[in-house]
Amino acid sequence: MIVCIGTVNNVRRCFASGIGLIFFLYSVGAWAQASEAGLRAAFLYNFFKFIEWPELRKNELWLCAVNARDAVRESISQIDNKHTQALTIKVRFLDDESDLERKLKRCQLVYVPTTGASVALPAVIPVGTLLVADEPDPEDTRVGIALLRTRQDRIEFTINEVAVKHAGVKVSSQLLKLARNKPGGAG
């Protein structure tokens, strides 16, 4: 298993195994210079490159951030209108809980930073929507990708294959290889 961590030198070693992953490295490396919030935003942007969503109505992928604040909000804003897979990434901030279940149905990727952890998400995430969260409760089976800080102060991610399957998305084998998953595949 390959473990990909959020420092530029170590990320470079992780991505040496595949040409497509080298592009991941350069994007992460560029944003990593700025801040931890920038690094997390770079992970989000690059997740779009390695995930396929079912039946898109338009040539747009929606990244919805729940209660993002300050540097996190600013970093995620930089993803708005970027392109990947011949699709445009659109960013939407969900700052209140009103009608959240309906709003989530329009999102392909929902990101919950630590500032959004107190927001009550629906018990079931809509099909076609993948939930990514910072430091989520390990028992939350809705989270498809967890961004985690290690004891060495690095950022790693895990992929919950059950949540990915529920979302109805396809995660590339390259991204699965980079995830630090626990036995059993639950992330």
Q: What is the DSSP string of 58-98?
A: SSEEEEEEES--HHHHHHHHTTTT-EETTEEEEEEEE-S-T
**pLDDT of res. 132:** 98
Residue that has been written with the tokens 């209660």 in this structure? 67
- Alpha helices by DSSP H, listed for 50-92, are 70-77
Residue 161 belongs to a domain with what CATH number?
A: 3.40.50
| Selected residue with higher pLDDT from 109 and 97 | 109
Evaluate whether residue 160 is within a structural domain: yes
- State pTM to two decimals: 0.80
State the residue range of the domain holding 151: 8-178
Digit-coded pLDDT (tens) for 27-73: 444 444 458 999 999 999 999 999 998 777 788 999 999 999 999 99
Domains identified in the chain, total number: 1
Evaluate whether residue 31 is within a structural domain: yes
Other beta carbons within 10 angstroms of residue 45's beta carbon come to 22
